[in-house]
Amino acid sequence: MPTTFEKPRDVVGGLVVVGIGGLFLLFGRELPVGSSFRMGPGYFPAILSWLMVGLGAVMAGLAWRAPHQEGVFGVVPWRALVLIVGATLFFGLGLRGLGLLPVLVAVVFATAWASRYAGLKAATALALGIALFCSGLFIKGLGLPLPGPWLSAAYWSPAAPPPPPAPTAPAP
């Protein structure tokens, strides 16, 4: 009897999460873990990696229980895939030049547009809320310099020529 399951997408997703957690454990094994009273730099990553492995295994195990359904993978949502990957790349490439606030607004709008359930009103409220919260937290609260020089007039105006040298009086 062949092994079949109802939600192959969840099984594959769970196994991917297990694999990512396993890779984090593999690459983080050189970091000293320490104990719960004297945590080393590898303590928190190791706990998160084990949580990923455990949750991924539970997710795959629960999806494996029921009988198989045909055609559950469906079509690939290309628009959503391009928007999510593009928003991530835009965040990484535009953060230093544009600043945190405009990049977050653009990323939230792009990811909301990737969903077929998000509306413009909800996306606007979410974008402004996340952008203001993160700007307040990271720029004001933590003091991270994320101003965005691309949006300043000084960045785009041509550099002023240096002033001419001051005339000197002839020596007597």
Provide the residue type at 44 as one letter. Answer: F
Q: Does a structural domain hold residue 47?
A: yes
Give the pLDDT mean for 136-148. Answer: 80
Do 28 and 57 sit in the same domain of this protein?
Answer: yes
Do 47 and 96 sit in the same domain of this protein?
Answer: no
Q: Does a structural domain hold residue 94?
A: yes
Q: Does a structural domain hold residue 171?
A: no
Do 101 and 124 sit in the same domain of this protein?
Answer: yes
Report whether 95 contacts 103 (CB < 8 A). Answer: yes
Do 100 and 41 sit in the same domain of this protein?
Answer: no
Do 47 and 86 sit in the same domain of this protein?
Answer: no
Give the pLDDT mean for 3-10. Answer: 66
Closest CA to 68 of 117, 121, 11: 11
Q: Residue 142, exposed/middle/buried by CB under 10 A (0-12, 13-18, 19+)?
A: exposed
Q: Hey, which bits of the chain come out as E strands?
A: none
Q: Does a structural domain hold residue 2?
A: no
Give the H or E element holding residue 154. Answer: helix 153-156
Do 147 and 82 sit in the same domain of this protein?
Answer: yes
Do 50 and 108 sit in the same domain of this protein?
Answer: no
Lookup: tokens for 119: 């509306």
Residue 47 has pLDDT above 60, yes or no: yes
Q: Does a structural domain hold residue 70?
A: no
Domain that holds residue 112: 78-151
Lookup: tokens for 149: 């020089």
* 35/78 Cα distance (integer angstroms): 45
The band of 107, judged by pLDDT with boundaries at 50, 70 and 90, is very high
Give the pLDDT mean for 100-110. Answer: 91
Do 99 and 127 sit in the same domain of this protein?
Answer: yes
Q: Does a structural domain hold residue 169?
A: no
pLDDT in tens, 65-100: 756 555 555 666 788 889 999 999 999 898 888 888
List beta partners, residue 34. 39
Do 145 and 107 sit in the same domain of this protein?
Answer: yes
Do 107 and 48 sit in the same domain of this protein?
Answer: no
The band of 1, judged by pLDDT with boundaries at 50, 70 and 90, is very low
Whole-prediction pTM: 0.53
Q: Does a structural domain hold residue 71?
A: no
Domains of the chain: total: 2
